[in-house]
């Protein structure tokens, strides 16, 4: 670097000094990050919970209160919303003002175009239909894939209030063990059956991910919900 010939001793780098500097800086850095995590952890958890709570009411129109249930082999067990036992699957039952069950919100996930898309959808056990869908987390391409979360035409597949079209049907087959029809993907404008989701042209991969997410989750959750509907009614805990 320097053009003048350095003095032999003074110019030699001192390894100890270097190690001490880097070590010291890293130590301080670790310390600071520890404090940042400590200070924000509770708030971040709260934010995520609030997002989820908002989403439950979003996908269950008409719900005034909700209750989380853990999914177990024998059915459903009421749990706290913020219960985060590892491996536990949760659904959220929504009730109207009078305490009547209006629907169940179910979290689901599927591989999208760039990463896993996490979403939540509402299911009305009486009408056997989807009552809403919302993206919780996605890193789909802005302007294309991320339209699964905000394209009004696509969301009309799931929300019935703002369109004359019916929402996706989730009927069970005769023995109640699985869906009568798989949730299927249909190209924009080519939907012919009530169990088809009309995709977004230009966001086919992301639309199909939503279809897969719905189908996989509903195949499992819907038979369970129909079989143990009594456990989800208010005040059965």
Partner 1 sequence: MAQGNPATTMDEFMKGLWRENPVFVMLIGMCPTMAVSNTVINSLAMGACAIFVLVMSSAVVSLIRKLVPKEVRIATFIVVIATLVTIVDYVMQYISLPLYQALGVFIPLIVVNCIILARAEVFASRNNVWLSSVDALGMGVGFTFALLCLGTVREIIGKGAILGIPLFGPNFEPWSVMVLPPGGFFTLGSWLLFFNWLRERRARKLKKAE
Stretch that binds partner 1, among 27-35, 102-110, 184-192, 206-214 (CB under 8 A): 27-35
Chain centroid to Cα 42, Å, comes to: 20
Residue 28 or residue 88: which is nearer to partner 1 going by CB?
28
Tokens 């049907």 belong to 169
C-beta of 229: minimal distance to partner 1 in Å? 33
Distances in Å between the Cα of 167 and the Cα atoms of 87, 137, 144, 145, 160 are 31, 23, 23, 21, 6
C-beta of 55: minimal distance to partner 1 in Å? 12
At 141, is the secondary structure helix, strand, or coil? coil
For the segment 138-177, give every residue that binds partner 1 (CB under 8 A).
139, 141-144
Stretch that binds partner 1, among 17-25, 183-191, 209-217, 219-227 (CB under 8 A): 17-25
Q: Please identify which residue in 4, 17, 73, 80 interacts with partner 1, judged by CB under 8 A.
A: 17
Stretch that binds partner 1, among 72-80, 135-143, 153-161, 183-191 (CB under 8 A): 135-143
Q: How many residues bind partner 1 (CB under 8 A)?
A: 28
The structure tokens listed for 22 are 């880097």
C-beta of 41: minimal distance to partner 1 in Å? 8
Indicate the DSSP class of residue 149.
Answer: G
Residue 144 or residue 229: which is nearer to partner 1 going by CB?
144
DSSP secondary structure string for all residues of 156-220: TTT--TT-SS---B--B-TTSSSBSS--EEE-TT---STTEEE--TT-HHHHHHHHHHHHHHHHH
User: For the stretch 200-229, what's the b/e string if a residue is b when 16 or more beta carbons lie within 10 angstroms of its beta carbon?
Assistant: beebbbbbbbbbbbbbebbebbbbbbeeee
- Which stretches of the chain bind partner 1, using CB under 8 A? 13-14, 17-18, 21-22, 25-26, 28-29, 32-33, 36-37, 39-40, 43-44, 47-48, 51, 137, 139, 141-144, 202
């Amino acid at each position: 670097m320097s053009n003048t010939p350095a003095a032999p001793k003074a110019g030699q780098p001192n390894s100890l000094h270097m190690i001490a500097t880097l070590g010291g800086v890293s130590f301080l850095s670790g310390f600071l990050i520890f404090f940042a995590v400590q200070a924000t952890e509770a708030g971040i958890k709260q934010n995520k919970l609030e997002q989820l709570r908002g989403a439950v009411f979003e996908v269950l129109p008409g719900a005034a209160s909700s209750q989380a249930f853990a999914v177990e082999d024998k059915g459903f067990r009421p749990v706290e919303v913020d219960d985060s036992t590892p491996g536990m699957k949760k659904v959220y039952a929504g009730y109207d003002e009078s305490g009547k069950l209006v629907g169940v919100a179910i979290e689901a996930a599927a591989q999208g175009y760039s990463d896993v898309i996490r979403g939540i959808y509402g299911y009305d056990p009486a009408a056997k239909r989807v009552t809403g869908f919302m993206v919780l987390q996605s890193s789909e391409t802005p302007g294309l894939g991320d339209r699964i979360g905000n394209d009004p035409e696509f969301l009309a597949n799931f929300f019935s209030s703002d369109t004359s079209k019916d929402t996706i049907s989730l009927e069970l087959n005769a023995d109640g063990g699985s869906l009568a029809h798989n949730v299927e993907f249909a190209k924009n404008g080519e939907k012919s059956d009530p169990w088809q989701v009309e995709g977004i042209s230009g966001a086919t991969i992301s639309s199909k991910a939503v279809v897969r997410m719905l189908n996989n989750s509903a195949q499992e959750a819907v038979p369970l919900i129909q079989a143990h509907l009594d456990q989800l009614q208010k005040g059965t805990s």
